[in-house]
Chains A and B, each alone.
Chain A
């Protein structure tokens, strides 16, 4: 992975830069020893590591603004960082850039039930928002699998989703307002507790901009009343195509499940070995379909969904009869990544989206690629919205296997785009898929995006080297490298 050539002039000024930063923020908010900076040298894409120039952990928005203003004046690059759980290298440090950590912004500022929203600092974890309001029957809908650790500011930067986004939307659909610090150090408020405004939707553009346009210093999030109940179906199919048909039939019948997940044969076996969730081992595809809402509605829809999946050729159907059983259905799915890590020394986790009707084509393509490359692939999908997570199994100790796995992964993402889909459904571009952007976008498309970047950050000081391909592209392609089943944050659920 080729990153921008570090500016030696800036690196040579490191001591002076740290001295000034200590005047802009409390002295103990600047970290510059190599040992202490180690904790910040990577995010969730830990194949790439780099020590930053210095780490700054401001405590107030004024301090963020002061740091950014000074760095802007001095032409010093800034890499913003939330909790560092990105799977695409969005928070990968640069040798000549200040790493701006938002970890101290960890307070919920206001819980406003009258207007059904929460105002929080960006370093608050995703799950902490729900925890703060659940006693009163509310929750925050986007639920990325890393929600116990990922920050809401990072969620805005990556436009995070979760297994329930089919029904409840992504971060962008649940965000009401942000406070933004520009690279010039100006503090702007976008959106708020009102819904419509007569300006450009800059908050919409900030969401998913991967830290390239500005630093989010406060968020206002919409909270929802928790559904009265939730039940799930566990449905096995002998034929993957039939499972795909069932998913389409459910939606065509006017039903939007809260979540609709699919696993293929290898993923079913691995998950069942790992979690003993009672999955049908003989099935070649498994659907977990969750419905939530008022009890009478859920009961009625469960019946309808059951009829649809049986008609589509389901070989087994189980309906959860208790919360315990519903959680058990999910336990296998949620342990799919570590389960696959147990059956292979290494795997690459891919993330692309296709139009759902192309799923059978994609399964055939993957089977043929699997033969071609001589590597196994296990599949878990967010089936409702066509978001794929193929896990390519390999052994990094076998010469050439890593390279073969990477080529395999790149071919899958190329296939996603060929079939009318996109390179990344939820993990982001970051450094991971940066050099694949030209598969999906023309030069004109990318030029327009970069011009927008220039409107926010003319000096290209914010998070350079991310999202946009460099002039010299390297052959490394999009993936998350997992060695010996060890994810970068082994304690974090990933699904």
Chain B
């Protein structure tokens, strides 16, 4: 096994970082920030760069970049303090998600942003290895409830890290309401490990819903499905998530409404409330109910983009204003032969195709909207060599990003160019 494939969760460590050498490449297996700082200093002294890695399940997100050495942060693992009645969980960034989920389930709580498990569509992770909470935060990936409950970035309350300057720093806190200093937690979310190596993080938790179910409503076209969902969201019946499935996928998932598109609307809460709201919405839309077990399983598959995972296709993640989604889809050449599901009331499109022209077409379509972005999420071939996986930044934004990166990591030691060229 080459060192590039070995990013794993080590089992046993001493007080010093384990250093594994293979040829010119060194793997630093750290279990505290002091060791992270030491590794950064060593690598910086040689004018080289580090790839920062947890469980390695999201290494295929972002740009192809080459690194001189590997910083394996998966050893900084474990729950430090969990106070369910405070809605606060403090843990180490390398903690695997199954450990996090087990702890939360024990207190009937959840991460409200509904983190997906992307190992299946991203592939190439070792069997049985779950991603880490740190990796999830670093990529700011959220699931269906993002629409109403916010993203990963809305739940990180504070953290401790080492910057690319090998200096320790902390920001935020361990309480829910805090405006002391800049909100650097937001910046760490979705920064792909380019700003710092996190150890201790504090996350806001919420009670898990007691029950849930879904409503299935047919629509003649995509725009009609989006409009229907907008009407549901303009009612006081508190929908929590809503997806749109084309007929073929709806049929595969066993929720075919008989129309070209099926809107799936999820209701969560206490039993009496869910039943009451479902009744009102059925009256309003004429839709069919999907009972709890089937609903949970369907939403898990939507969350993890499973309907697009089976076939070896590139998968793009597109986010736009929900009301713009139909226009964006219409602008795509039918010859792209896309396979698609929509989430977030139409504001999130997962689009798969075997055609290399998909990326440029999506970038052009997004460009024509007031706001939106397109990201290559799964690359089954060599697409990343031809197109930037993340939406390129405009001039002023690019310069500001460069300066922000430099304020944490002036020499570009950490995950350099993982997101954008020169950053």
Contact = CB atoms under 8 A, between A and B. Distances in A.
Interface in B267-324: 269-270, 272-273, 276-277, 317, 319-324
B154 to A, nearest CB: 5
Contacts of B406: 455
Interface stretch (B93-101, B124-132, B186-194): B186-194
A320 B400 CA distance: 52
A201 B190 contact: yes
By CB atoms of chain A within 10 A, which of B146, B169, B375, B406 has the most?
A: B169
B120 interface: no
Contact of A201 (B167, B173, B187, B391): B187
Interface in A241-263: 248-249, 251-252, 254-256
A329 to B, nearest CB: 22
Contacts of B108: 254
Contacts of B404: 200, 202, 452, 455
Contact of B233 (A200, A225, A449, A451): A225
B83 A355 contact: yes
A226 B236 contact: yes
Given A208-B182, A421-B175, A194 B321 contact: yes
B168 A192 contact: no
B391 A177 contact: no
Given A194-B372, A200-B401, A356-B86, A254 B210 contact: yes
A437 interface: yes
A433 B181 CA distance: 10
Given A225-B236, A254-B207, A449 B181 contact: yes
A83 to B, nearest CB: 18
A197 B373 contact: yes
Contacts of A479: none
Contact of A300 (B83, B273, B320, B407): B273
Contacts of B85: 248-249, 251-252, 356-357
Interface string B245-260: 0000000000000000
B179 A425 contact: yes
A142 interface: no
A203 B171 CA distance: 17
B177 A448 contact: no
Contacts of B88: 355
B273 A113 contact: no
A262 to B, nearest CB: 14
Contacts of B153: 201, 204
B319 A196 contact: yes
A420 B174 contact: yes
A252 B236 contact: no
A398 interface: no
A158 B176 CA distance: 16
Nearest to B227: A114
Contact of B348 (A196, A209, A421, A452): A196
A198 interface: yes
Interface in B374-412: 375, 389-391, 393, 396-397, 400-401, 403-408
Given A204-B186, A420-B175, A452 B407 contact: yes
A113 B181 contact: no
Nearest to B372: A194
By CB atoms of chain A within 10 A, which of B176, B321, B371, B373 has the most?
A: B176
B152 to A, nearest CB: 10
B317 to A, nearest CB: 8
Contacts of B169: 442, 444-445, 447-448
Mostly, the B contact residues are: mixed
A387 B186 CA distance: 21
Contacts of A228: 236
A113 B234 contact: yes
Interface in A180-213: 182, 186-189, 191-205, 207-209, 213
A165 interface: yes
B105 interface: no
A417 to B, nearest CB: 9
A301 B182 contact: no
Contacts of A182: 396, 400
B78 interface: no
A148 interface: no
A283 interface: no
Given A204-B187, A386-B175, A387-B177, A255 B207 contact: yes
Contacts of A386: 86, 175-177
A441 interface: yes
A169 interface: yes
Nearest to B396: A186
A170 B187 contact: no
B391 A301 contact: no
A279 to B, nearest CB: 25
Interface in A378-399: 382, 385-387
**Those 6 A-B pairs whose CB atoms lie nearest each other, nearest first:** A204-B186, A192-B371, A297-B273, A193-B321, A254-B207, A198-B390
28 contacts: A113-B230, A114-B321, A114-B323, A165-B177, A169-B150, A193-B320, A195-B319, A196-B319, A196-B348, A199-B393, A202-B404, A203-B186, A204-B185, A205-B182, A213-B182, A226-B236, A294-B238, A296-B273, A382-B177, A386-B175, A386-B176, A423-B180, A425-B175, A445-B169, A445-B171, A448-B184, A452-B184, A452-B404
Given A172-B183, A355-B83, A426-B179, 10 more contacts: A182-B396, A192-B372, A195-B151, A200-B401, A205-B182, A208-B183, A251-B85, A297-B273, A445-B171, A448-B184
Interface of A: 112-116, 136-138, 158-159, 161, 165-166, 169-170, 172-173, 177, 182, 186-189, 191-205, 207-209, 213, 225-228, 248-249, 251-252, 254-256, 293-294, 296-297, 300-301, 353-357, 382, 385-387, 420-429, 433, 437, 440-442, 444-449, 451-456, 467
